[in-house]
Amino acid sequence: MPTSEEIKANQATIWSHASPAWAEWDATWERFPGPVNEWLCAAADLKPGMNVLDLASGAGQPAVAVAARVAPGGKVTATDIAPGMVDMLRQRIERAGIANLEAVVMDMEKLEFPDESFDAVTARWAFMFAPDAVGAIAAARRVLKPGGRLATATWDKADQNWWQGAQIFEKTLNPLVPPPPPDPNAPNPLRFSDPELLEQMLRDAGFADVSSETVPFRFDFGSSDEWWRFISTVNAPVAARLRRLDAAQLDQVRQESTAEIERFASGDRLALAAACLCAVGRK
């Protein structure tokens, strides 16, 4: 079994490799999961002038939205373990001229900030990838000021997230490139899809007034080929496995996967269900 540090090193590599795809599909990431960003901003009770930490920021969601909410006078520090993602976000910040948003490379389990540094912490699709998730949540609590809130989102169950193609890749990709052995505690997108488990982790890390709810939305693509171009590049673990295929195998997986996803087509569009499990706690 890989060590915690080996897992995190691999994550830094594969997500850096995926960063150009996240930049390419930035408008898609901003548009469709927008309700999740709104939930996080509201649950964190953001106000102008606040100092906010955003964990595992990736392409800048919800860090960019948070920066708008805390202006004027507020500041957002966006962190990610993948240098490629941070570089891409820095370029986005410069292009957009977002003066109150800074991006830094940092491990969410080892936050390099003094105690009680932030008024709020947001974390979209973050703790599911931390080898020590409770430790990462506890680190977020440490840097929060008393009364500050942590608002986080993870993916809900697979049958509410067909856009990810998890069930499809079980049939089309797994026989060619088997995934790591099943481990419910290993980092993966669906790791905390049980609301009781997610809430208990926040309580175990010391948070009070913990609650959660499902936030549904959908991804809308013009075709199954568009979906394939999206999912085969932005999903870093899947993309890493696809790179191990030869050209014929890759074409086989693409054809079989797009044929499976087309069952969700309606007219000339492909509407795919998505849902996040969102939780909030107070220090």
Residue 165 has pLDDT above 70, yes or no: yes
- What pLDDT is recorded for position 269? 87
Query: How is residue 160 written in tokens?
Result: 């509410």
Question: Most distant CA pair in the chain: distance in Å?
Answer: 57
User: What would the mean pLDDT of 136-159 be, rounded to a whole number?
Assistant: 97
- What pLDDT is recorded for position 182? 67
Does residue 213 sit in helix, strand or coil? strand
Q: What percent of the chain has pLDDT over 70?
A: 99
What predicted TM-score, i.e. pTM, was given to this entire model?
0.94
CATH of the domain at 45: 3.40.50.150
Contact call for residues 256 and 145 (beta carbons, < 8 A): no
Q: How many CB atoms lie within 10 A of CB 172?
A: 19
- What pLDDT is recorded for position 185? 74
Query: How is residue 225 written in tokens?
Result: 């080929």
Cα separation, 15 vs 237, in Å, equals: 8
The mean predicted confidence, pLDDT, of the chain is 95
- What pLDDT is recorded for position 104? 98
Q: How many CB atoms lie within 10 A of CB 39?
A: 20
User: What would the mean pLDDT of 251-264 be, rounded to a whole number?
Assistant: 96
User: What would the mean pLDDT of 74-89 be, rounded to a whole number?
Assistant: 97
Query: Which H or E run contains 233?
Result: helix 224-234
Q: What percent of the chain has pLDDT over 90?
A: 92
- Nearest CA among 178, 203, 15 for reference residue 108: 15
- What pLDDT is recorded for position 17? 96
φ/ψ of residue 221, rounded to 5: -115, 155
- What pLDDT is recorded for position 204? 95
Query: How is residue 93 written in tokens?
Result: 């910040």
Q: Which residues contact 194 (CB under 8 A, 6 or more apart)?
A: none
pLDDT tens for 130-143 read 999 999 999 999 99
Q: What is the tally of structural domains in the chain?
A: 1
pLDDT tens for 3-20 read 999 999 999 999 999 999
Residue 123, domain extent: 4-282
User: Could you give the C-alpha distances from 175 to 58, 116, 225, 233, 241, in angstroms and in order?
Assistant: 30, 48, 22, 20, 12
- What pLDDT is recorded for position 180? 78
Cα separation, 139 vs 202, in Å, equals: 11
Residue 184 has pLDDT above 80, yes or no: no
User: What would the mean pLDDT of 48-75 be, rounded to a whole number?
Assistant: 97
Q: How many CB atoms lie within 10 A of CB 71?
A: 17
pLDDT tens for 100-131 read 999 999 999 999 999 999 999 999 999 999 99
Q: How many CB atoms lie within 10 A of CB 9?
A: 13
Cα separation, 77 vs 111, in Å, equals: 12
User: What would the mean pLDDT of 26-45 be, rounded to a whole number?
Assistant: 95
pLDDT tens for 186-240 read 888 999 999 999 999 999 999 999 999 999 999 999 999 999 999 999 999 999 9
Residue 261 confidence class, pLDDT cut points 50, 70, 90? very high
